[in-house]
A and B are shown apart, each in its own frame.
Chain A
Amino acid sequence: MSITRRDFLKIAAVTGGVAAASTPVVKSVLALGKKPVSLPQYVPTTCEMCFWRCGVIAKVVDGKVVKLDGNPLHPNSRGKLCARGHGGIGLLYDSDRLKTPLINTGSRGEAKFKKASWDEALGYVADRMQKIKEKYGAESVGLLTHGTVSTYFMHLLQAFGSPNFAMPSFALCRGARGVAFELTFGEDVGNPERLDLQNSKAIVLIGSHLGENAHNSQCQEFAEAVGKGATVIVLDPRFSTAAGKAKYWLPIKPTTDLAILLAWINIIINEGLYDKDYVAKYTTGFNEVSQAVKEYTPEWAEKETEIPAGRIVETARVLGKNKPNVLIHPGRHTAWYSDNVQRQRAVAILTAILGAYGRPGGIYLNPKKKLEPVFLSDKDYPEPQKPAINKGNYPFAGEEGVTHAIVKATLTEDPYPIKAWFITGTNIMKAMPNQRDTLNAVQRLDLLVAVDMMPYDGVMLADVVLPECTYLERHDDFFTVKERSFGISFRQPVVQPMYDTKPGWWIAKELGKRLGLEEYFPWNTFDDFLKAKAEAWGIDYAELAQKGYIDFPESAKPYLSQGEDYKFKTTSGKIELYSNELKKHGFDPIPKYTKHEQPSEGWFRLIYGRAPVHTFSRTTNNPSLWELMEENVAWINAKVAKRMGLKHGDYIVLVNQDGVKSNKVRAKVTERIRPDCIYLVHGFCSTSKLLHRAYLRGADDQQLITKYAIDPISGSVGMRVNFVKITKEV
């Protein structure tokens, strides 16, 4: 990335760490007898309004954050922030924030909170944890976690002796994709994904709605590719923003994506449009794949997908013509049906036969830089006495764990009871399907502790609430960024913590102390730990604090060179189009099409997605973002609405197959959706009365997702399997 002179000036003006309490003023103005003008200070840090973790430069005037901008040095932001990034100020100054530790004095989940001191709250938690450990064993403490705070609480949990943590980001989000790409290429596509969008000549988005998914750098590159004339092909039952940029919008019948993927593979092989040299050099199992996909003709796929065969052939040829500079977007939230890994495997196979992995415009390679891990402490974790339950019985479940395995073990006490949950940085009511299971599991616990910034629905269930300060008020561990080149991103407090809130590391350390685990936290402040880590890595800490991001440009090696002998991290060292690993575990080594249940007359499939101004359920109360979108709306096809006598803006209620009713929600009557689907933006209708803006605004998709289908390969959860009907009673 080139740095302009202006960027340099901006960087030169930034300071390291918390902006000084007394902001410098322009003296010459004072001399004129006018009101003194405070000079703004600029502090670089790392965003956490979503998981993209862009570089931010905070503008602070008189100790108040007045503006957040993108750090031009950081490859995830490139000088720009999305709406949520700018809206970080709304989180910091949201008057509904958790302000002190709280202890529930009522029954479980009653949220009859009394204010407590940190000492009292931490003592209460430590005492109950010890009792559970004595009675059931340390493994009976589970952790559901998301975001940066996970670092400290996974450390604490393992130091305590439990391996049972799970992140919604695996089974409820991108897990299936990771597994499929690991099986095929030997590694996941990264987070953020290593997509060379800016050089793509053809882009396929399968349900990915970039733009509405405001993944900063990915959106930037997508727009750039569109501007350069890339051919965009969008498979989506909804005419998304991205579909509006597409030459081909294929309004596919939900659940049939695998049919079109297999048909594309068939056509591309059949017509000789694949990258023959690449396939010969880097892949195994091509012949098996060519045989296996023969049955998946365009005509067959038309019947499944409701996309005309001619369009399927035409788009396959677009991909073939533009190979290898094509990007089949691997997706992110891939928790759709029961065959998530197989669908994502088809994406991986298609990518491989087009020669697009390690090629311009496709998926670029990991940068070549590795730093030795520096752990929070050198002390080994105690060996758990019982086997971990956090991966369920799924042979390819990832290291992040599977949330529903924790819920299930809590409900059934099989193979052993789970008696305490920590929920840190995740709203379990909105992240996990089947809320009734979640609530029943919560009732079986002896202890529920929540660590978060806002009184989200899940936090309201807790016995003890430990208020974390926001990302603008704390240090966190270094973020290693694997963009085209390797880099390190820094988070530092921009302002001092407001209220009686504390950083996640402090909460974990203080709890550790009370559990006799102080040896696992051998540093006083996190700053101390980071300085030692920087020294171990040979990084100038002061420079990092001043710039917010350090890049290692020599680590970039995005593409395979001509004829390069490249060893993939699979067993065979090649791209495994045919997966022996899957075969070994009794799964189809090549994806096979599976049919899924369809809604009957009068019912609609509930699909859901993102809005660019919100992150999950975490921002719906943020005053800056709430203003841009106060509640969600239910998208309904215009012809269906007409038939039902529904007008745009009417309030409706959605009822699912199990009789669960949504909150009232306005109908968005639109041509932009298939007649057999209803679409909601995820994360709305908070049930927390302490979130005064978000409380009961819009409809909660997760409430209607009572049914889910589990992918037996990975444990990935299919959540697009619920049907709803529309009622007008409100």
Chain B
Amino acid sequence: MPRYVMVIDVEKCIGCMACVIACKKENNVPEEHFRTRVVEEVRGEFPSLRMELRSELCNHCEEAPCIDACPTRASHRAKDGTVQIDRKKCIGCKACILACPYDARYSHPKGYADKCSFCEHRLKEGKKPACVETCLGKSRIFGDLEDSNSEVAELLRKYDSSVRLEFAGTRPRVFYIKKKFAGGL
């Protein structure tokens, strides 16, 4: 079984937002909703500043609170290890939306919960997720961690990585690497 992960090389994100809209178009995400976002975090005071641009999306957690919270098993772990939602089983109770510590889910106007699927349909065609495909900075890197020759495996071997809200114990599959950080005066 593959273990799909996304590695985000924070330094290479140039905040172009191509991922955000590519995702929307690829997945026909309804107005006012997004499956991914780019967060800007600024520290310091003028003129000694540093800034981080961070892509955020569903973490496809190994210990997924959304799956635990789902009363109908609509939120489930797919065979490829990713966390998916079966729309037909979803009753729109929003428990998963509240359970997710990452604010990665939203309620689709058609009544079901929705979120990043790692572009499951594209993976089946041998393509990368839409956000990865179009990422101008190649800041988003996707692959199978089970394959020790994959780029993601190599990056996680080579660099320190972190996950969002590690203390939540969800064991995310989206990893952030910072090779170095040079910024500010």
Contact = CB atoms under 8 A, between A and B. Distances in A.
Given A625-B21, A627-B32, A244 B44 contact: no
Interface of A: 6, 66-70, 79-83, 85-87, 89, 210-212, 214, 216, 219-220, 222-224, 226-227, 229, 239, 241-251, 612-613, 623-625, 627-628, 637-639, 670-675
B82 interface: no
A249 B32 contact: no
A673 B12 CA distance: 23
Contacts of A229: 180
Contacts of A612: 15-18
Contacts, number: 145
Interface string B36-70: 00000010111101111100000000000000000
Nearest to B19: A83
Given A83-B20, A211-B16, A220-B138, A624 B44 contact: no
Given A214-B16, A628-B17, A249 B47 contact: yes
B111 interface: no
Contacts of B156: none
B26 interface: yes
Nearest to B184: A249
Contacts of A251: 46-47, 185
Interface residues of B, number: 44
A6 B28 CA distance: 24
B184 A223 contact: no
Nearest to A222: B14
A224 B180 CA distance: 14
Nearest to B139: A223
A227 B9 contact: yes
Contacts of A6: 126-127
A227 B182 contact: no
Contacts of A625: 21
A246 B16 contact: no
Contact of B50 (A211, A244, A248, A627): A244
B137 A219 contact: yes
Contacts of A67: 25-26, 130
B26 A219 contact: no
A86 B16 contact: no
Interface in B116-136: 126-127, 130, 133-136
B133 A214 contact: no
Which A-B residue pairs are the 9 nearest by beta carbons?
Answer: A223-B137, A211-B14, A244-B51, A247-B182, A83-B17, A86-B21, A671-B46, A612-B16, A219-B136
Contacts of A223: 12-14, 136-139
Nearest to A637: B46
Contacts of B138: 220, 223-224, 227
A352 to B, nearest CB: 28
Contacts of A224: 12, 137-138
A239 B47 CA distance: 8
B25 A628 contact: no
Contacts of A670: 42
Given A226-B12, A637-B46, A672-B46, A241 B182 contact: no
B11 to A, nearest CB: 6
A248 B17 CA distance: 25
A627 B20 CA distance: 11
Contact of B44 (A243, A613, A671, A674): A671
Given A223-B136, A628-B17, A89 B42 contact: no
A86 to B, nearest CB: 4
Nearest to A639: B46
Contact of B18 (A82, A222, A248): A82
Given A216-B136, A219-B136, A220-B138, A249 B183 contact: yes
Contacts of B137: 219-220, 223-224, 226-227
28 contacts: A66-B25, A66-B28, A67-B26, A79-B133, A80-B135, A81-B134, A83-B17, A83-B18, A86-B21, A86-B134, A87-B21, A211-B15, A214-B18, A220-B137, A222-B14, A223-B139, A227-B138, A239-B51, A241-B51, A243-B49, A244-B49, A245-B14, A247-B182, A612-B15, A613-B21, A624-B25, A627-B32, A674-B46
B179 interface: yes
B154 to A, nearest CB: 14
Given A82-B136, A244-B51, A246-B182, A219 B16 contact: yes
A482 B22 CA distance: 27
Contacts of A623: 31
A670 B51 CA distance: 12
Contact of A239 (B11, B31, B49): B49
Contacts of A245: 11, 14, 183
Contact of B22 (A81, A219, A613, A674): A81
B24 interface: yes
B114 to A, nearest CB: 16
Contacts of A89: 25
Contacts of B42: 239, 670-672
